[in-house]
Structure 1
Amino acid sequence: MKAVATTRKLPLEDPSCFVTLDLPDPQPGPRDLVIRVKAIGINPVDYKVRRSRIEGDSEPKILGYDGAGIVEAVGSEVTLFRPGDEVFYAGDITRPGSNAELQLVDERIVAKKPESLGFPEAAALPLTAITAWECLFDRLGLTPGDLDEGKGKTLLILSGAGGVGSIGIQLAAVLTGFTIIATASRPETVAWCHKMGAHHVINHSGDWPAELGKIGFKHVDYIACFGDTTAHWKAMAEAIVPQGKITAIVESPEVPDIGLLKSKSAAFIWEFMFTRSMFQTPDMIEQHELLKEVATLVDAGRIRSTITSHGGTLSPETLAAAHREQEAGRMIGKQVLEVAW
């Protein structure tokens, strides 16, 4: 099979940062699907893993943690899929990724793609949808589909226009009754958050607890931080209601001062969507189930793909360009590439 991979730790400006390789076709384990990749989504984790390469390591590494494609073969214990099924998934960070012609993925973290979407539109969804779903319903403990639970209560989504925020706002809007307050700092990102379903949008670039006050909210009941955890930590501790909950997804360069939450008996919970696959947790199949629900919501017209940028066909050049856009930190929604070998 062909793949676009990194073989050394190099800057994006180096034309050898990504190279096209011919590699052996992957052979499935008992619960693996062999997926012929048709499209990939790009996420910040892609460039973070690329940057983490160790100097001197020359082992080819295939990145890519969002994909949509067609099942080509299945392992001996697979029961959920068969060859020919069109699927979408976010993969496993401990295994070769989706920037390739073929990929092995455990069936428990895959679902049939929405029938109403093409492969590029579907590839924009899995990683961010899993992350947002787990934040809202596993980490914060909200109940999907219970519209009464959130009456009179607030959910703050920090960095609402990014990939996770874009789908997180939509999921909260259709599956909960919470008042959704998103944050954004540019006119185009503010408009996008409203389009996704946010009831209010405030500016996160300054004293955003003060901005909350201006729209009538002294505190919020729940916070999903999809931006810089460290930069927002003190403000989150100030804004969270006593006995409220905060979840975050961006690794912190320093340990947050958890003591700031003590007087409020507030909870803080990390979210990492690769936890289930990395540790083969007993509930790993929950990602299959939630992706099925996301596909159902898409096909019912209740939520939409967050694709905003199509970068063409996967190649070393287009992948480097996509990483460059991610590193700039100004993405609205999701960017994708198609795979055609």
Structure 2
Amino acid sequence: MKGLKLDTSSKIPVYQQIVHSIMAAVRDGVLKRDQQIPSINELSEEYLLSRGTVEKAYNELRDKKVIISVKGKGYFINRTDVTTPLRILLLFNKISNYKKQLYNAFVHALGDNVFVDLHIHHHSVALFESLMNNRIGDYDFYVIMPHFYEQSEKVLEIIQQVPADQLILLDRDLPGLKGRYGMVYQNFEKDIYASLTDALPQLLKYDRLVYANPGMTPYPEEIKMGFQYFCRMNDFNYSVIDGVELNTPVKKGQAYVIIEEMDLVNLVKICRNQGLEVGKDVGIVSYNETLLKEVLLDGITVISTDHDAMGQAAARMILERKLEVVKNDFKLIVRNSL
């Protein structure tokens, strides 16, 4: 029988995998009412399973009235109104305000008959490998944020275990990954360049642009590259600093591009302590929109992808069973801090 998804190394008993796989095929319209399915002997021979394992699965399916047996003819699909939920493994690199926004949009768009299992890999390849190895074969879809900054070949090897038609990458692509998988991505270098270009009229009133490179939490290097390219193309004096501490020198006439929220908090404190007016003496552009930035200092200017749209696009691919490659919107929101 085509499409039966079994993993003998999974912690889920094989007979339960057979039940889930057949019910999922009925739910998705792959198996139709009155369609014949393989006999117990045929299925056990095709997948090298014991006859008892297949029989146990068929008995459960028959108890659920999903299949019926017709004497002398075999087994047939009896009903198609099954309600087995979609099972989705969602792997984020970290938890943050905008990740929560993305998660809420994703889950809301999927609706009720879906089970979403969220885990965090914290950029750790070892943790990611452990999470994946224990769960391959257990889900209908795997939605992964592949933010890793080491062991790229190992990451590819781990993700390549997932069938391409069950895989959706979020936030960034993974060069070298094979197959026609789904993806909702940002182009970090081009996005920040385009957004800063949109903010050029406001930035021109400042003498220098400063990029606060994130410290403890890694971010894509392409963000810094896009900032530097923008500065060179527009003849800005610029510098790159390692985060913002409370003792970081902050001067009048500088505009800051801030990635981490703690750096934003420290910069606002410094400006307050030194009597520098944000939006006039010092400019601030913050990365990633949050509700707090709408109200802080009467509004912090942000450059941000649309996290709601990213979650909704991934959910739509799953519900429509149509995996695509989607470039997510990125925009500038000008507020009083610039």
TM-score (norm 1): 0.35
Q: Which has the higher helix share?
A: 2
Question: In terms of Rg, which structure is larger?
Answer: 2
Tell me: higher relative CO, structure 1 or 2? Use CA pairs within 8 A at least 6 residues apart: 1
